[in-house]
Homo-oligomer: A and B are copies of this chain.
Amino acid sequence: MSKTARPVPPRAPTLEDVARSAGLSSMTVSRALNTPQLVRPKTVEKVLAAVKATGYIPNALAGGLASRRSKLIAVVVPQINNNMFVDTIQAISDELAVRGYHMLLCVAGYTQQTEAELVAALLSRRPDGIVLTGIHHSTDLKKVILNASVPVVEIWDLTPTPLDMLVGFSHEKVGQATAEYLLRKGYRRPGLLWTVDKRAMQRKAGLCEVLGRHGITDPLSVDVALPARFTSGREGLSQLLALGESDVIVCSSDTLAQGAIVEAQARGLRVPQDVAVIGFGDLDFAAGNNPAITTVSVDRQIIGQRAATLLMERIEGTRSGEEIVDIGFHFIERESA
């Protein structure tokens, strides 16, 4: 066999190639693939055979350009290695995959500046929808997004005035509910172990507001760096104990709570008898921990599912109904407080 005997072009087969192979026009092939119900069944068969024969793989870049629909959803989160967001991301991804969409995932950290830059870059991909974490964005970002008139869902927070659509819950109310629980249980000297991100601060605000109304002001407080880690929980409790006595440690996440509990136990303190601990998130270890962690449960998957379906519906034009979804939360009393 001579080398020149291989007339196959190195470029990927196109719709044209399939059409030629099937003895049809490229337009018919396109229809057979995208809207088979508009094509005679026998023709569809021929096309499918030709596709297999040629090894054709559609070019979504060209398709998106022509149709002005990229079937791409951009998702922006502050972090991935944060137990809170991964379940949401996975839920979005699962929901999209079913419908032929793909997920562009970006990690923005916790600054509005980088978020704005990332979204600007992301918009060049012409996503059909965008998922943004949180409701606090730079004015630049808001302008750019509204200008692009692309559907947006903000997640993991609540506001009466979202950019567009929203799926989340009230962090302030979580804080309030936590405070009310503490007070009901008779705790009077809370110590706070807290990360400093926006949403955690809202929970803290809600917590302190209710505490303040009951005469508990300026509770002992230790800030820890993001992301919340088990180790930070242990160290944080040490610092908190050095500041003074607490009868309950309120943590901004279960991860911190788990660390705090271990640190307490290592010091011979009984949880909750000597010091109680409360977390947030109901992560998978919370129920099984010893003692089981009293915490606030949030359905992280539902956030992703609803966000994805809201976008899908808006894109397909079948939206009707509310655009602000409050998924709420549950306070879960267990053993640690």
Q: List the interface of chain A (C-beta within 8 A of B).
A: 12, 55, 57-65, 70, 79-81, 83, 86-87, 89-90, 93-94, 97, 100, 102-107, 118, 120-126, 144, 147-148, 229-231, 233-234, 258-259, 262, 265-266, 284-285, 287-290
Per a CB cutoff under 8 Å, which of B65, B87, B102, B122 touches A59?
A: B65
B105–A105 contact, CB under 8 A?
yes
CA distance A83 to B259 in the complex (A): 17
A126–B262 contact, CB under 8 A?
no
Known: A81-B90, A90-B81, A93-B80. A285 touches B230 (CB 8 A): yes
B94–A57 contact, CB under 8 A?
no
Q: How far is the CB of A216 from chain B (nearest CB, A)?
A: 30
B90–A79 contact, CB under 8 A?
yes
A148–B231 contact, CB under 8 A?
no
Known: A89-B80, A90-B79, A107-B94. A288 touches B65 (CB 8 A): no
A81-B90, A89-B105, A258-B285 known; 9 other A-B pairs, CB under 8 Å?
Answer: A57-B120, A57-B124, A80-B89, A86-B86, A93-B107, A97-B107, A103-B106, A231-B288, A265-B290
By a CB distance below 8 angstroms, the chain B residues around A61 are 61, 64-65, 70, 125-126
B90–A107 contact, CB under 8 A?
yes
Q: How far is the CB of A57 from chain B (nearest CB, A)?
A: 5
Q: How far is the CB of A120 from chain B (nearest CB, A)?
A: 7
Q: How far is the CB of A307 from chain B (nearest CB, A)?
A: 15
By a CB distance below 8 angstroms, the chain B residues around A229 are 284-285
By a CB distance below 8 angstroms, the chain B residues around A59 are 65, 124, 126
**What are 9 A-B pairs at a CB distance below 8 A?**
A60-B125, A61-B61, A94-B107, A97-B107, A102-B104, A102-B125, A104-B104, A104-B105, A230-B285
B90–A284 contact, CB under 8 A?
no
CA distance A120 to B120 in the complex (A): 29
CA distance A202 to B122 in the complex (A): 39
CA distance A148 to B123 in the complex (A): 27
Q: How far is the CB of A278 from chain B (nearest CB, A)?
A: 18
Q: How far is the CB of A195 from chain B (nearest CB, A)?
A: 14
Per a CB cutoff under 8 Å, which of B79, B97, B148 touches A12?
A: B148
By a CB distance below 8 angstroms, the chain B residues around A90 are 79-81, 107
